[in-house]
Structure 1
Amino acid sequence: MDLLTDIATTLVAQMQKPTLAFLIGGMMLAALGSKLEVPEPVYKFVVMLLLLKVGLSAGISVREADLLALALPAVLAALVGIAIVLIGAVTIAKLRGVSHMDGMATAGLFGAVSASTLAAGMAMLEAEGIRYEGFIGALYPFMDIAALVTAIVLARMAAARKAATSKNLQGGTITMGGGGGFGGGFDGKMVGGILRDTFQSAAISALVLGLALGIFARPDAVYESFYEPLFRGLLSILMLIMGMEAWSRLSELRKVAHAYVLYAITAPLVHGLLGFGAGLIAHHFTGFSAGGVVLLAVMASSSSDISGPPTLRGALPEANASAYVGSSTGLGTPVAILSIPLWIWLADLVIGV
């Protein structure tokens, strides 16, 4: 009964937060037939500012971190982000009725990191008096960008193969190889083109530019005076837009909603175990703290609520926002937050906190 009460309380608390509240507000406006529209140039400007802010914040964290202590956890964080997307490619993206593009976008969002969930994990550790490394925030971009880029590239590769197969069939030529996942052989030229297009896309370009400026320049003043104060307001506008879009495409999910519910409930636990395992490796080789292990598990179990949605919307516009935002923010985030005590208990059991 206590568990059910905790889940209900967490769900209510999440719905009252600006991220989910504005998303639901946008869906309600669309359901009521509102004519409210946000012009596309305004949307693009909002996304650019948001992603520049996320990149700058991450870059500043990396610049201020101890690079030697950061190296192994950063590599492991990136590998976990990639692994989560690869797991999604053979689970949610393969389920009957689920569009491969929607499945990969969902896997990408679950591979990326939620800043709010990470902050909740830090607050819990501090309340328990558990120490963690000061550079933990700098691990965020390694997992985040690795997951998003992997998801976008795999989705684009699958779409390109499907288009090529369809074209060959229409021309009377039958070719072996799949239209999704990992089948169909390796086409270096196609992969190179997709990678180039991915990094040249507006979303990834803004994210990577902010990261580079944060590391190699000194943008702290403009970050604190301009980007940080605007951030929450801009995020609320983005969620409003995505809520309206999500409602318009909700009908596409009715037949496969159970697949997303199952994935959103189980994925944070599986992903958290991956992150916990990576943290144990770092602990063994570098003395990474028990608190750091917990927070790496928290990052892996979380799903992005800031950088992920605009990045995926820009890079994979065909993907259904109802699928990846709804399953992530509506279910994945509460499960990830509720699982934080599990990672603390495991760390105490295995390492001792």
Structure 2
Amino acid sequence: MDFLADFLTKFGSQLQSPTLGFLLGGIVVAALGSRLAIPDAIYKFIVFMLLIKVGLSGGIAIRNANIAEMLLPALFAVITGILIVFIASVTLAKMPGIRTVDALATGGLFGAVSGSTLAAGITVMEGQGIEYEAWAGALYPFMDIPALVTAIVLASIYTRKRKRDKYLKNEAYLKKEAVASGGYASEPGGSTGGYASEPGGSADDRVKIWPIIKDSLQGSALSALLIGLALGLLTRPESVFESFYEPLFRGLLSILMLVMGMEAWARLGELRKVAQWYAVYALVAPLLHGFIAFGLGYIAHITTGFSPGGVALLAIIAASSSDISGPPTLRGGIPSANPSAYIGSSTAIGTPIAIAIGIPLFIGLAQTLGG
């Protein structure tokens, strides 16, 4: 009971943080019909600035850290990103009215990472004075890229299988018709139905992994983070970091949360166009994914001394869903998937749940874990 009371007290205090307040404020403003709008260029610039700051701090920390300490958390980040997609393939994909490609795209987006949620989690943790490994933010690509690659590969395999099954079904039908008419027009290898032209049968149809990874790395959010990491690791940016990026971080984040709140309300309309199971998934998935990552992070905590704050940040990353780089990557990789399904469920429900509930939940658990 003492554990539960301690956790609920800490959870309640997290809900009063400015970061979450601005998110809820954006939702309320949009719900009241306000015409307040933040230009998209400003939104992208704010995200760039926040991720550059996170990358710089991570790069500086990695430069002074023992790389071996990162190996197990990084491995767990990879496992989590892949596992999230497979969970969607055996849960959401099995629900009535849900297309498999839409479910895989949704799983990929929820397995990928939101830079804004990562920045929000870091801000709340720093405001609470919670210590964590500065390189923990660098776990972002270790979860983001495997999730997107897994979703696109599974969707490609599924699509090719469907095409092959359809082809074979048509082939069987043609054979049956030919036999009934006394001929055999679709002899394998013949002019009307040779197996050489079977969909998915050529080497050129194989899923290419590197273009998917390349697209993910070239996405604006991940590029900004990686640039910051490289600069923090290879240069000495401490002076500009402390005088420019650090003071602006919380103010920029508050604007970003306001924008995300308004965007969440606007996306509710898109979510109504698709099956209600997406709303159920978006409510449950962020917390489920976060708990999986928290459990794996706890293993790293026991075995390698990974800090409770680092465990919380790993869980926050897992609870997030990509809001910038993920959607264009999935649009290109799974063109047959419905963006209203995976983007609507992520932006309208998944991200607000990850920020408003996931961040205080996992930070509260980490505080309790750390005593």
TM-score normalised by the shorter chain: which range applies?
0.7 to 0.9
Q: Which residue of 1 aligns with 2:17?
A: 17
The Cα offsets for residues 99-133 of structure 1, whole Å up to 9 and x where unpaired, read as 4333322233499953256548964x8xxxxxxxx
Out of 217, 222, 232, which is 2:240 matched to?
A: 222
Question: 1:238: Cα distance to partner?
Answer: 1.7
Q: Which residue of 2 aligns with 1:115?
A: 122
CA distance in 2, matches of 1:231, 1:186: 47
Residue 302, structure 1, aligned to residue 306, structure 2? no
* Contact preservation (8 Å) 1:55, 1:206: yes
TM score, norm. by length of structure 1: 0.73
* Contact preservation (8 Å) 1:118, 1:298: no
Check 1:333–1:231 CA distance in 2 against 1; reply closer, same or farther (3 A cut).
same
SS across alignment from 1:268: helix
1:16-165 aligned within 5 A = 16-65=16-65, 70-92=66-88, 94-95=91-92, 96=95, 97=98, 99-109=103-113, 114-116=121-123, 119=126, 123=130, 137-158=133-154
Unaligned runs of 5+ in 2: 171-196, 332-338
Q: Which residue of 2 aligns with 1:337?
A: 363
The Cα offsets for residues 175-212 of structure 1, whole Å up to 9 and x where unpaired, read as 579xxxxxxx9977621111111111222111111100
Please report the RMSD computed on the Cα atoms of aligned residues, expressed in angstroms.
Answer: 3.9
Check 1:36–1:293 CA distance in 2 against 1; reply closer, same or farther (3 A cut).
closer
The Cα offsets for residues 234-293 of structure 1, whole Å up to 9 and x where unpaired, read as 1122222221221122251754433344334444333222112233343xxxxxx4xx35
Q: Which residue of 1 aligns with 2:227?
A: 209
Check 1:308–1:234 CA distance in 2 against 1; reply closer, same or farther (3 A cut).
farther
SS across alignment from 2:236: coil
Question: 1:150: Cα distance to partner?
Answer: 2.1
1:280-295 aligned within 5 A = 280-282=302-304, 289=305, 292=306, 294-295=308-309
Of the structure 1 ranges 233-242 and 259-268, higher mean CA displacement relative to structure 2 is found in: 259-268
* Contact preservation (8 Å) 2:80, 2:293: yes
Check 1:241–1:312 CA distance in 2 against 1; reply closer, same or farther (3 A cut).
farther
Q: Which residue of 1 aligns with 2:187?
A: none
Check 1:193–1:224 CA distance in 2 against 1; reply closer, same or farther (3 A cut).
same
* Contact preservation (8 Å) 2:51, 2:221: yes
Question: 1:54: Cα distance to partner?
Answer: 1.2
* Contact preservation (8 Å) 1:30, 1:247: yes
Count residues in correspondence: 315
Check 1:189–1:310 CA distance in 2 against 1; reply closer, same or farther (3 A cut).
closer
State the one-letter code of the partner of 1:115.
I
Unaligned runs of 5+ in 1: 126-135, 178-184, 283-288, 346-353
State the one-letter code of the partner of 1:233.
G
CA distance in 1, matches of 2:62, 2:123: 19
Question: 1:217: Cα distance to partner?
Answer: 0.8
Indicate the percent of aligned positions where both proteins have the same amino acid: 31
Check 1:6–1:31 CA distance in 2 against 1; reply closer, same or farther (3 A cut).
farther
* Contact preservation (8 Å) 2:81, 2:318: no
Report the structure number with the largest CA radius of gyration. Answer: 2
SS across alignment from 2:36: coil
SS across alignment from 1:16: coil
Question: 1:341: Cα distance to partner?
Answer: 5.1
The Cα offsets for residues 134-189 of structure 1, whole Å up to 9 and x where unpaired, read as xx524313422211222233344456667777888999887579xxxxxxx99776
* Contact preservation (8 Å) 2:114, 2:320: no
Residue 321, structure 1, aligned to residue 335, structure 2? no
